[in-house]
Structure 1
Amino acid sequence: MPNAIILSTGSYAPDRIVPNSYFDTLLGEDVSTWLEENVHIYERRWAAENQSTADLCIPAARQALERARLLPEDIDLLIIATDTPEFISPSTSSKVQYELGLVNAGTFDINTACAGFVTALDTGAKYIKSDAQYRHVMVIGAYAMSKYLNMSDKKTVTLFADGAGAVILKSEETTERGFLASQLITQGQYYGYMGIYAGGTYQPITPKVIENQDHLLKFVQKFPKELNPGMWSKMATDLTSRIGTTPDKVDHYFLTQININSIWETMDRLGVARERAHTVMHYYGYTGSACIPMAFDQAVSKGLVKRGELIVFIGSGGGLAFASAAFIY
Structure 2
Amino acid sequence: MEQLRGLYPPLAAYDSGWLDTGDGHRIYWELSGNPQGKPALFLHGGPGGGISPSHRQLFDPQRYNVLLFDQRGCGRSKPHASLENNTTWHLVDDIERLRQMVGIDQWLVLGGSWGATLALAYAQTYPQQVSEMVLRGVFTLRQQELNWYYQDGASHIFPDKWAQVLSILSAEERKDVIAAYRQRLTSSDRQIQLEAAKLWSLWEGETVTLLPSSTAATFGEDEFALAFARIENHYFTHQGFLTSDDQLLKNVPLIRHIPAVIIHGRYDMVCRLQNAWDLAQAWPEAQLQIVEGAGHSTNEPGIQHHVILATDHFAGK
Bigger strand share: 1
Structure that is richer in helix per residue: 2
Larger relative contact order, structure 1 or 2 (CA cutoff 8 Å, min sep 6):
1
Q: TM-score, normalised by structure 1?
A: 0.33
